[in-house]
Structure 1
Amino acid sequence: MTAITKECINRWASTIKQKTFKSNDTYSIGSITHLWELLGDIFAGKSKSQNQKPKSILPNAWLSGAHFLFNNQSNLNIGSDGYDNYQAPVLNGNHQLYLRRLWARGSINISSVPELNSSLHCDEKVTSVRFIDENVLVNIERSFYSRILSPPLLVENRTLMYTNKLYFPAKTKPILLNEKNVLLVSPPIQLSSIDLLKYSMLTYNLHKIHIDTNYCHSIENLPTLIVHGPLQVTLLLYYFQLQYPKITPHLFSYRTYEPCFVNEELAISITENGDQFDLALCNPKDKRVKLKGQLHLLEKYQAPSHTW
């Protein structure tokens, strides 16, 4: 493995920040329908109850993470982990510097909803590159437009951590769910390897940590498959829309705290926090938080008379 210095990372960062990655797509009903069916099955569980599925797909889908389906990587420059290296720290245009990449944090700022079957234009830029010990955090901003030169429909920021450290369970104290002011906790859900494969196919994502158990064990020292970061975010926003279909989210900012593994029992909590909601994906038994974020609304929220 090539010795990694701040100088070589800074040179790469200086080059990558000057680039804008442009892509075109269509906000099509097919992909959204497949995502909605996947989410509905996850939340319906063994009963397959139709009561857990929203009656309409649009505009709820755009408010619930459907943008993750569109304008994705081209997979023309695949790294050793199966994911596209087009925005990864590399030397000489293609020499990979890091073995692993992890979804760390992000935000979704929603301004308006695209029309069905309308064009989607996306501009991607690397906005910051930071050294943290031996790791590198790369932030990518993705701006979606329905028409070129029009205001963005949605601006997403995602931060990926690149590291050469293999996975080991964290020795630090876990973040636990604070049950004060909790309004709702979902019934337990579990994501199967088939669920992860379906989401990988929908998002054109070849990252092996989501689909290849042997790779997880032998290369990254992971116990099993990891649930995609975008899928975790989508689960939170989708469940919120199930419970509050008349509320329009505006800004969701979040961070991950520990890996979320396939077949792990999970639950989603919704907590009132002033004029915003805290959404968390956690283990319902030990209350360990996997991913947590703050949801801001377009209009002030009026709390219901009941609480969980």
Structure 2
Amino acid sequence: MKTVNMEYLRSWIGRQQHDEDTLDIRQAQLMAATIDHGAAIGPGEPLPPLWHWIYFREGAPAAELGPDGHGPRGDFLPPVPLRNRMWAGGRVEFLRPLIIGDSVHKHSRVLDVQHKQSRSWGELVFVTVLHELRCREDQLLLLREEHDIVYRQPRPVGQRDPLPETPYTPSSGAKTFTPAATTLFRYSALTFNGHRIHYDADYCRREEGYPDLVIHGPLIATLLAGLARQCLQGDMQSFHYRALNPAFLGDTISMETRLTNGAATLLAVLPDGRVAMEAQATKETP
């Protein structure tokens, strides 16, 4: 394994990139079908929370893809030498609605690169990226997002953290979600995500130490954000989420929502009582 040269990796702080996209109605309708959204999706309507992740898709030429299916490292994101790359969490501020059909400009900047040591996962490198979405027509800021990406080495197949002393038991009213392999395929296609952990089970087990296909962290976050909006009975002002444990194909995820003093706390719980993701959402102030 290559040595993690943090001075070199931190030289990526401040790197920027720009992109533009139209919030296409067809793409939104395909997302609705993927997660059984239920409600009709039409042009001119606000995009549901976190659905902006299905836009601004990047695609490196096939010859440039790494063995994990991601594009080459060292361009916009730093070339972290640790093999596994995952979404760790993020903080999203919803400033104005993203309207289906509008053209939007995206400005991204590397905010920070940090090295940490974990008893469970060993050496970790966290990269935080700031994304700002603006209406291309008037440049009004629509959304501000800080996205945390974590890099680490794979662990042996089957090795997992010990169960918590008191595994979480969801209430009887918790909503459940059991994605099929086709769900993972469709979400990967919508986001143009070539990461093989979501569709290549042999690669998952042999190369990254997972027992089966990994359910996308952003997919779980999107479902929690949708529940948060329902719980708050209105538009959200902010949504903060943190991934705690990976979820795998075959897992039924129980999604728990609790409202306290105008803020929603949400948990995505795995069958063994581990929490896959936790989130907090606040309501837009009048």
TM-score range, shorter chain: 0.7 to 0.9
Query: Could you tell me which of 16, 32, 57 is aligned with 1:72?
Result: 57
| Matching of residues 227-266 of structure 1 within 5 Å | 227-241=215-229, 243-244=230-231, 246-266=233-253
Which amino acid in structure 1 is aligned with residue 273 of structure 2?
A: K
Structure 2 partner of 1:114: 98
Q: Which amino acid aligns with 1:272?
A: L
Match of 1:203 in 2: 191
Structure 2: state its 5+ residue gaps. Answer: 118-122
Which residue of 72, 78, 82 maps to 2:69? 82
Q: CA deviation at 1:62?
A: 2.6
Partner of 1:304: none
Change (3 A) 1:183 1:253: farther
Distance 1:152 1:2 in 2: 40
Ranges in structure 1 where 5+ consecutive residues have no aligned partner: 41-51, 91-95, 301-308
Give the Cα separation in 1 of the matches to 2:228 and 2:42.
Answer: 14
Whole-angstrom distance in 1 between the partners of 2:265 and 2:165? 18
| Equivalent pairs, count | 275
Taking a change above 3 Å as real, the CA distance of residues 225 and 12 of structure 1, as seen in their structure-2 partners, is same
Counterparts of 2:54 and 2:166 in 1: how far apart (Å)? Answer: 30
Please tell me the root mean square deviation across aligned C-alpha atoms, in Å.
2.6
Of 155, 161, 178, 1:166 maps to: 155
Matched-pair contact (CA < 8 Å) for 1:174–1:289: no
8 Å CA contact retained: 1:266, 1:282: yes
Query: The residue matched to 2:213 in structure 1 has which SS?
Result: coil
SS of equivalent residue, structure 1 residue 13: helix
Q: Secondary structure of the residue that 2:34 maps to in structure 1?
A: helix
Q: 2:28, 2:41 within 8 Å by CA — same for their partners in 1? A: no
For 2:45 and 2:160, the matched residues in 1 are separated by 36
* Counterpart in the other structure of 1:47: none
Tell me the secondary structure at the aligned position of residue 82 of structure 1.
coil
Per-residue deviation, residues 216-262 of structure 1 (Å, max 9, x unmatched): 01101110011111111111122344x45841111000111100111
Question: Normalising to structure 2: TM-score of the pair?
Answer: 0.86
Deviation at 1:183, TM superposition (A): 10
The answer to whether residue 126 in structure 2 is matched with residue 150 in structure 1 is no
Q: Quick check: 1:110–1:154 contact (8 Å CA) kept in 2?
A: yes
Aligned match for 1:28, one of 21, 24, 45:
24
Q: In structure 2, what is the Cα distance between the partners aligned to 1:248 and 1:176?
A: 32
Indicate how the Cα distance of structure 1 residues 57 and 224 shifts in structure 2: closer, same or farther if over 3 A, else same.
Answer: farther
Per the alignment, residue 273 of structure 2 pairs with 287
| 2:124 matched residue in structure 1 | 135
| Cα distance change, pair 101–191 in 1 and its aligned pair in 2 (3 A) | same
**Offset at residue 148 of structure 1 (A):** 6.9
